Amino acid sequence: MQMPRPTEEDKARFRALVPDDPRIEVKPMFGQLGAFLGGHMFAGLFGADVGVKLPEPELAALRERGARPYGPPERPMSGYVTVPDDADAAELLVRGAQFAATLPPKVKKKP
């Protein structure tokens, strides 16, 4: 499986879509980027594709509107969809962050 590499423009677009919230961290992951809240990744960049994690009813509604799976075609990420290139993208990432905020914080494992 070949990993697509995001361009600097892709990374800037992703960072611009991530909500401005001091609880959110954007971190590099395997040459891509991920947005985390409470230790939970709620959005990611895979090549040029932006993905978001949402509750299943919202994912189903987006799939009905044509949203594609997110991540490698051989192994898409469960619970995520690729964000359509439209005006709703920033709002979808806000909803992803809101969803992540409802999850219990992840406890860091001891080394």
Question: Along the 111 residues of the chain, how does pLDDT read in single tens digits?
Answer: 678 899 999 999 999 999 999 999 999 998 899 999 999 999 999 999 999 999 999 999 999 988 999 988 888 999 999 998 767 899 999 999 999 999 988 877 777
Rounded Cα–Cα distance for residues 15 and 27 (Å) = 10
Partnered with residue 34 across adjacent β-strands are 27, 44
pLDDT of res. 3: 81
- Residue 41 CB coordination number (10 Å): 20
Please state, in angstroms and as integers, the Cα–Cα distance from residue 19 to each residue in 65, 78, 92, 94, following that order: 23, 22, 10, 6
Contacts 24+ apart (CB under 8 A), 24-29: 24/97
CB neighbours (10 Å) of residue 11?
Answer: 15
Domain residue ranges in the chain: 8-101
| Fold (topology level) of 8-101 | Yope Regulator; Chain: A, (3.30.1460)
Residue 1 is predicted with a pLDDT of: 63
